[in-house]
Every structure is written in structure tokens, then in C-alpha cells.
Structure 1
Amino acid sequence: MSVQFGDTLILPRSDESHLTEWRRSVDWQIMIAALSLLGLGLMLSLAAGPPAAERLGLDDAFYFVKRHSVFAVAAAVGLVAASMLDAVWARRISAVVFCGSFVMLTAILIIGHEAKGAHRWIEIGGFTLQPSEFAKPALIVLSGWLLAQRQLFPGGPWAVVALVFYVVTLGLLLLQPDVGQSALLTAAFIVTFFVSGLPWKWASIFFGGGVALSLTLYALLPHVRYRVNSFVNPSEYDTYQIDKASEAIARGGLLGVGPGEGTVKTHLPDAHTDFIFAVLGEEFGYVAAIALIGLITFICWRGLRAASRVRDPFPRAAAAGLFALFGLQAAINIAVNVSLIPPKGMTLPFISYGGSSMLGIALTLGLALALIRRQSAAAWREHG
């Protein structure tokens, strides 16, 4: 029997419906922080969207704002829906998503939409979709499950199978080429592997392979070589975008120049995507930039802490990898904006414009919340 107090409905402990169980066990602090990021992204789209539409000669100045709003609503729905899954269904959905993404990653090499010299998108019904955004979280969940099977069935080649899935996916990303997403996927995969009990021999293999691959990419891909060289010797190369982003953040100072008063969004073609952090820093200042970083850090810290307390090895490793995936993507974007690393062409989670990015991040955090959700109801009360 439920009890009504004003406008609040108090559900009894005996209510065992799926919705009630989800409401009791989901980590609401992470959920609210994630939805806050979506709201902040909507606000910043009002600042950076119209100049981007004007540069492209679009008749509707709010073209990107409207699309961003639709993507944000879809991402919020996807985040909540994914967080309602249990561990078994999280694995099943991830398997389906990975298979679909794998097919599209392969198709991209033949019929993919080219932009900026790379084939990373595929056109579906008038929309462009970036399959790598969905392949990343799906692969992390599947890898976490495969690696967990070593404890149940020690004789199986589980680690090798997980490594094969990773290597094949990595190869498809590098053929596009997409070095930034490849590096991000590699880092999250290593976290998943490490949490599941990475042996030292595997660690040495990853390290040696990473060094060899980095040198090979530097030697074979001109745009990788250019980005690294321009970062090491900026005076000898065109670093216009990085310089403008850094100058905008410095111009914003402590409190910013004011909403709508920034100028970097009129100078950078990717101000509404890769360099949205510079728009935030210029118009709202260091205080807002630090608050954003704090919000992202809180999600990662709380999520990783929750994952570390899960007893089941599958959700523990997979959730850790997913939260690492989210946090590392944000860190890479911000580091590029403040000239700490070479430009990567990576979005800021839930903030930058981009439907594939927002939906992919929603899937990432939603699955992570689902995997720690069972633990939230019991262990949170024990550990606080």
C-alpha cells in the first residue's frame, strides 16, 4: 500500500516492481550530475550553435540548437533506459550493439561518408552516424564479461578472445583513420583488463605494442605526424585553432566576458563541437570551467568507487572501464582546448554538439549505472 504526502508518493518496501527497484538502487547522484551536463550542453549550444549555422550559410540560425535539443532529449531517455538493465541484459544489449557497430564499421570502409579526409560516418535516413561511439562501450562490456569467465572456467581462452575483439575493432578504427578514438578505446580496454586481474606479461605486451603502434602511426600517417610535430614545435606550424582556444580561455578570466559576448565561436569552425570548452571558458570564466571539470570528476570518482565495491568480477571490470571511457574522453577534449596535448578531434561528453557522441555517451554511462545498480542498494548503505 502506498502513502501520499502532499505531492510525494512514498512507495512501500513490499513494492517489488522493476521501476521501484530501479528507483531504489540507481545512483541518483551520478544520474543527476549526468543530466546536469546535458543541460549545460543545451545552454552552450545557444552560444555556439548560431555562429556555426551562419558560417555554413544555413537559413535557420538555430539549426544546431534545435538538433542539439533533440539529441539531448534522446540521450536522457537512453541514459535512463540503459540504467534500468540488469547485468545479464546489459551484456546482451552490448552484444547486439557491438555486432551492429562492427558491421557498420566494416561498411564505412566501402560506403562511408567522408569528412576531413576520414571515413568515420555512415549515412542512414538523412542522418550521419558514427558507429565507433557505440562500439566502444559495447566492447568494454563484452570484454569485462569475457575476462570474468577466467574465474569461472580457468581453462578457456577468454583473455585471448577479448584481445582479438579489441584488436579487430582497433584495426577498423585505424583504417578510417581515427587515431583519437583508437587511443581512447585502448586506454579503457587496459583499465578493464587491469581491474579484471591483468598479469604482468600482458602489461608488458600492451606497453610494447602501444609504443610500436604509436611509432608506426607517426611514420605512416601524415596527419598524425603533423599534429605531433606542430605540438612539439608550434612556431613552425599552423596552430591557429589551438591558439585561439587557449586565448579565449585566458580572455575569459575568472568570471568570463559574459553570455553571448565571446568571440572564439565566430573564429573556430569546430567551436560547437571540439572546442566548446573554449566557448565556456571565454564566456563564463575559470569558475564555470572548474565547475564543469569538478562535475565530470565527481561522476568518474563516484562511479569508480562504486565499481570497486562490486563483488561480481564482470560488472566490476566492465563498469570501471566504462567510467574510465567517459572520464578519459572528457580529459582528452579539455587537454586539447588548453594546449596540453595535440589536437584529437574528440567531443566533450554531453556538452559538444553531435548526435552519435551524445547517444554513445548516454549508452556508456547508462550501462555503467546498470552494472553498479545492484550494488548501490546494499553496499552504499554499508559503506556510505
Structure 2
Amino acid sequence: MVSRADRSLFSEWWWTVDKFLLVGVLFLMFAGVVLSLAGSPPVAERIGLDSFHFVKRHIFFLFPTIAILIGVSFLTPRQVRRAALVIFVVALALMFLTLFFGHEVKGARRWISLAGFSLQPSEFMKPAFIVLSAWLFTESTRQSDIPGNIFAVLLLAIVVSLLVAQPDLGQTMLTVIVWSAVFFLAGLSWVWIGALAGLAAGGIVLAYSVFPHFAGRINRFLDPSTGDTYQVDTALESVLHGGWFGRGPGEGIVKRVLPDSHTDFIFAVAAEEFGILLCILLVLVFAFIVVRGLSHSLKNEDAFVRLAAAGLFLLFGVQSVINMAVNLNLMPAKGMTLPFVSYGGSSILALALQMGFALALTRRRPETGRLTLRRMRPAGAEV
């Protein structure tokens, strides 16, 4: 048992970190291992690998994931900001190199090999970018002579340019949505709102005109007869096949022909084998993490902490909603993982960094103003 009288670094962390948020994230990690056992063997067998190849790798990545989550949560807000700057610069450099030296998969260059591991730099860029944007918005409001909003827009333009060049329109949309939400929370004027809305609409129209695969996904969503909807249709069949209580662990049938059952469509596998009730539980856990995190962040008196933490939890929540909506055919298909549940080394490590930042920012800290007042107040004086 950790005593409150103990002034060690671990004791301070233990009594200030939100344990409910931590348990929620760890629950999702555990669910990811269980669902990896359900969804990944058919995929591994189809491509000639050992049945538990992806399960073993998922568990292998789980150890550094937990270490990153816990370790990063020890940081102070200033250390979070500095770490985000370093990670952002490195991730941008790797994203640029990926365009020339990355692996091409289905016409996209998003992964680069480092020390024998395949890394997706854009996954690590997202949380760092949100933290830096929050800091720039905060500085813009604190000091009118610092053009923080302009710098934030320039950073967004650089990030969007690199993502579109890969191309990765799903991550582009996710990043822009969350960045815009943080900007809104920072108190942007209606002029900015109108300009951003116009740019977003123009960007969607341009992407529809320039990228055939993007246009194809929207067309198939609006009218399934215009193209191949096999994966989405199979995912829906998997959900319906499970009913309320599922067919049981390892008893899924439709999952065996679902191409990305271990990554983008793991939610459909959960529905088939464990039922709609488990899916509802997962939705509730995701919602709990986001709502509790936003509640903590919006109560914080530090503007930077408030914006950065809110942005990180929104990033987590929007990504979750997009993945589950695609599984249920509620929006056009996008290659996006379900946080901590889907298989993917870069994804789970980057999410650990993201939620580590969020836990660090939402830790309970003494209010500086009140502490100063108490020190200055004479003994026995009334408030």
C-alpha cells in the first residue's frame, strides 16, 4: 500500500493520476488481446503464417505499450509540451522520408522500416501535433503579439500536405476534425469558423475529384451497386450473425472470410463471437474514457492543459467512432484502427503515447494561486 505521507515520485504519481481512466485503458488493452485471438488466426492462415502470428506480436507490443503509457503519465505539463515538440519534428522528418523510402501498400506509402520494424510515423505525429497546436492557441490568447493561430494553421498545412501525399485521407480527416475542435475550444472568431468550414468543404470536393479511391468509397457508400462492397457487407453480416450474445469464442464463421478482421474490422468480430452486448460494453468504455477525460480537462484552470487534454481525448474518441461507424456501414470505409483493440504495432504504441500525455495532463495538481495565498496569509488570519 502506498502511503500519502510518502513523497517519492511514484507515490506522488499514484495519488494524482486518474486510476479510473488508467483502468479503462488497460481494459481495452486486455480486450484487444482477447479479440486478437478471435480475429487474427484466419488472416494469418490465409497468408501462410502461423495461426497465432498476429496474436504473439500483439502481446509482444503490449509490454512496451504499458511501459510507455505509465512512463509518459509521470511527465509534467511542461515536459509533455517539450516531448511533443521533439516527437513532432522526428515524426515529420520520417513522414517526409516515407514518401521516398517507404513501403508501398495498395498504392500508399505510409510505413518505413527502422531497425527491422515497420513504423507508421503519422500515428506518432497526431498526438504531438495536437499538443503543439494547443500550446500555440494558448500563447496566441496570452500574448497578442505572438501569431500563434497563424503558426498553428501553417503546421496544419504541413501535416495535411504530407498526409495527402502518402495518401492517407482518413488520417487527414481525423487530424483536421480534432484540430478544428481544439481551435473552437480556444475561442476562435466566426471569421475563422467560416474560413475553416469553406476550406474543409473545398478540400473534400478536391479530394473527390483528384483521388479515385476516395471518390469510389463515397460512391459505394451512397450507392452500393456502383462498386465492390464485399468487406463492409461481410462485416455487417458478421455483426448480424452474432446476435445479442454471440456464437461463442472461436465459433465465428463469417470472420473467416473477412479480410481485415484483425485490424479495421475487429469490432465486427467482437459482435459475431461475443455478441452485441460486448460491443455495447466497449462503446461504454470508450465513452467513459472520453467523457471523464473531457470533464477533467475542461475544469482545469491552465489554458494549455485544458486545450491539450481535450484535444487528446477528442482524438481518441473520434478515431473510435469512425472505426465503429465503418464496421456498421454508417459512413464510408476508412482504414482506421479501433484504439488499443485492433492489431497494429505503430497504432498501439502511438496510442500509449497519446493516452500517457492525457493522463499526465489530467493528474491532480495544486493550484498555484491558492498555495501562494496560503503562504502569504498570516497565521490565524481569516479568509
Q: 1:27 aligns to what?
A: 18
CA contact (8 A) 1:81 1:366 kept: yes
Q: Where does structure 1 lack aligned partners over 5 or more consecutive residues? A: 1-8, 379-384
Q: Is the 8 A contact 1:27 1:376 kept in 2?
A: no
Q: Is the 8 A contact 1:309 1:375 kept in 2?
A: no
In structure 1, distance between residues paired with 2:37 and 2:2: 38
CA-to-aligned-CA distance 1:226-256 (integer Å, 9 cap, x gap):
0000000012321000000011101111100
Alpha-carbon distance in structure 2 between the residues aligned to 1:299 and 1:10: 25
1:248 and 1:278 in contact (8 A); partners too: yes
AA in 2 matched with 1:50: P
CA 376–220 in structure 1, closer or farther in 2 if over 3 Å, else same: farther
Is contact 2:133-2:152 (8 Å) kept? yes
Counterpart of 2:274 (choices 284, 292, 308) is 284
Aligned amino acid, residue 227 of structure 1: R
Q: Which runs of 5+ in 2 are unaligned?
A: 369-383
1:145 aligns with 2:135: yes
Q: Is the 8 A contact 1:329 1:347 kept in 2?
A: yes
Q: Per-residue displacement from partner, 1:108-162 (whole Å, max 9, x unpaired)?
A: 1111111111001011122110011000000000111111112331111111001
1:256-293, CA deviations, whole angstroms, 9 ceiling, x for partnerless residues?
01110112321122100000000000001110000000
| Deviation of the 1:375 alpha carbon | 4.7
Which of 40, 60, 66 matches 1:76?
A: 66
2:30 matched residue in structure 1: 39
Counterpart of 1:203 in structure 2 is 193
Of 248, 251, 258, 1:258 maps to: 248
Which residue number in structure 1 is paired with residue 351 of structure 2?
361
State the distance in 1 between where 2:147 and 2:350 align. 29
Q: Tell me which stretches of 4 or more aligned residues in structure 1 moved more than 2 Å.
A: 374-378
Aligned to 1:334: 324
SS of the counterpart of 1:373?
coil
Among residues 3, 6, 16, which one is paired with 1:11 in the alignment? 3
TM-score by length of 1: 0.94
Match of 2:300, SS state, is coil
Question: Quick one: which amino acid aligns to residue 83 of structure 1?
Answer: S
Q: CA RMSD in A?
A: 1.3
Are the equivalent residues in 2 in contact too, given 1:53–1:64 (CA < 8 A)?
yes
8 Å contact kept, 1:195–1:316 = no
Confirm whether residue 53 of structure 1 aligns to residue 44 of structure 2. Answer: yes
Conserved? CA contact 2:2–2:11, under 8 Å: no
CA contact (8 A) 2:4 2:11 kept: no
User: Match of 1:120?
Assistant: 110
% identity of equivalent residues: 46
The answer to whether the 8 A contact 1:41-1:352 is kept is yes
Aligned to 2:75: 85
The amino acid across from 2:347 in the alignment is S
Distance 2:92 2:334 in 1: 22
CA contact (8 A) 1:264 1:278 kept: no
SS in 1 for 2:104: strand
Assess if the C-alpha contact under 8 Å between 1:44 and 1:351 holds in 2: yes
Shift of 1:70: 1.1
CA distance in 1, matches of 2:295, 2:13: 20
Aligned partner of 1:175 in structure 2 is 165
User: Secondary structure of the residue that 2:338 maps to in structure 1?
Assistant: coil
Give the C-alpha shift of residue 374 in structure 1: 3.3
Corresponding residue for 1:239? 229
CA contact (8 A) 2:137 2:183 kept: yes
Amino acid at match of 1:32: V
Matched residues in 2 for 1:323 and 1:376: separation?
22
